Amino acid sequence: MTQEEKQNLETKVNGVLNQIRPFLQNDGGDLRFIELTDDKVVYVELQGHCGSCPHAMMTLKQGVEQAVKEAIPEIVAVERYME
């Protein structure tokens, strides 16, 4: 993947994340884009209530990942960034 292709994908991913963000914010959470790997895996950091919620992985996989992959089929997965 060229740098330009990566930047275009990152822009698309951030657009989808911005559409999801209000739903997370309504529950006191949020997310932050961390990186897109060359393998087309997106890493996000769950913030606020989403960072400590016991349902965080379900939200990530069934909500965030599903929305991103539906909008951008070339994305392989969305994973939680852990420091």
pTM for the model stands at 0.90
What kind and span of H or E run contains 42?
A: strand 41-48
* Structural domains of the chain, count: 1
> For residue 47, what are the domain limits?
3-80
**Distant-in-sequence, close-in-space partners of 10: CB < 8 Å, separation ≥ 6:** 33, 36
What are the tens digits of pLDDT across the range 23-69?
889 988 899 999 999 999 999 998 887 777 777 888 888 889 999 99
pLDDT bucket at 70, cuts 50 / 70 / 90: very high
CATH number at residue 7: 3.30.300.130
Residue 82 has pLDDT above 90, yes or no: no
